[in-house]
Amino acid sequence: MFQVRNYVSELSYEFIRSTYNFLSNVDSGHATESFTDFVVGHGELWSAQMLAAVVRKNGIDCKWMDTREVLIVNPTSSNQVDPDFSESEKRLEKWFSQSPSNTIIATGFIASTPDNIPTTLKRDGSDFSAAIMGALLRAHQVTIWTDVDGVYSADPRKVSEAVILRTLSYQEAWEMSYFGANVLHPRTIIPVMRYDIPIVIRNIFNLSVPGIMICRPPVDENEDEQIIDSPVKGFATIDNLALVNVEGTGMAGVPGTANAIFGAVKDVGANVIMISQ
């Protein structure tokens, strides 16, 4: 217990010191948002360091990684971030050259901008960071631990006959996520799909369940086509949708009508999932 308390005290001191250094160097133009991301990220920093300490105490060579030193992202206009894989790969190679180890405990959810300003990966950032790191490391597999047994063919609260799926293709998982299924955030799938890295989703509280694997479908060598085991994998629904109908003879041939409509939608932070005209 004394060792744990002592380690927590060291982390608290480090937080105060790093906060002081950050405030001393931050520009007033981005102080508010950057400082929020900086503070929020310390939960990940502390968790990674304490877990690494426990692993080392059990005799396993282990180092912890502050992914803000490695993962570089560019903020976008839609309150999201895009990973800079080229720069991140360079920094990852440098990090490993300075901290070689067989076991790495890396922080999730946090990263840095090209100007080395702390930031986060926004919504579902922990899963997103796991996929990004898996892609950077060219991992054989990325496993995401959750509190559910897997992905259902439909919402079991609405469809009593729903079953747990065992496999999904990248495209199927992306589409089901986009249209409301509780699989993964669509952005999480993109990094691993680039390198054909499977994602396995498992329940950390029920290890007897194998979970679901998201991967590229197998290919029939004779037919040179992807094998489809079922034409329909599942159904997804989106709640709280609004249908907006804009019509009128006064809009015909008037420039800027579409821009005004979608500008209003953007201003209220709404997402358009389908357009018909």
Which range, 90-94, 187-191, 213-217, 242-246, is most confident? Answer: 90-94
Quick check: 34 and 26 in contact, CB under 8 A? yes
Which pair of tokens denotes residue 258?
């579409």
State the span(s) of the chain assigned CATH 3.40.1160.10.
1-122, 124-241
Alpha-carbon distance 29 to 245, whole Å? 41
Q: Do residues 53 and 63 touch, judged by C-beta distance below 8 A? A: no
pLDDT digits (tens, 9 = 90+) for 54-70: 898 899 999 999 999 99
Query: Across residues 146-151, what is the average pLDDT?
Result: 87
List all residues 6 or more positions away from 61 whose beta carbon is below 8 Å from its beta carbon.
Answer: 101, 102, 103
Mean per-residue pLDDT, 98-122: 92
DSSP per residue over 49-106, as a string?
Answer: HHHHHHHHHTT---EEE-GGGT-BEEE-TTS-EEE-HHHHHHHHHHHHHHS--S-EEE
Provide the pLDDT confidence category of residue 204 given band limits of 50, 70 and 90: very high
Count the Cβ atoms, other than its own, within 10 Å of residue 127.
22
- What's the confidence (pLDDT) of residue 2? 41
- CATH number, domain 124-241: 3.40.1160.10
**Topology annotation, domain 1-122:** Carbamate kinase (3.40.1160)
Q: Provide the pLDDT for residue 224.
A: 52
Mean pLDDT of 68-88: 90
* pLDDT category of residue 82 using cuts at 50, 70 and 90: very high
Q: What is the mean pLDDT of residues 6-23?
A: 59
Q: How confident is the model at residue 108 (pLDDT cuts 50, 70, 90)?
A: very high
Instruction: Convert the pLDDT of each residue in 237-250 to its tens digit.
Output: 888 888 888 888 77
Under the banding of pLDDT at 50, 70 and 90, the label for residue 180 is confident
Residue 148 pLDDT grade (very low, low, confident, very high; cuts 50, 70, 90): confident
Most confident stretch, 35-49, 128-142, 175-189: 128-142
How many other C-beta atoms can be found within 10 angstroms of the C-beta atom of residue 107?
A: 26
The pLDDT > 70 percentage for the chain reads: 83
Task: Name the average pLDDT for the chain.
Answer: 83
The predicted pLDDT at position 1 comes to: 44
Q: Is the pLDDT confidence value at 134 over 80?
A: yes
Per-residue pLDDT, 185: 83
Most confident of 8-17, 113-122, 131-140, 233-242: 131-140
DSSP 120-139: E--TTHHHHHHHHHHHHTT-
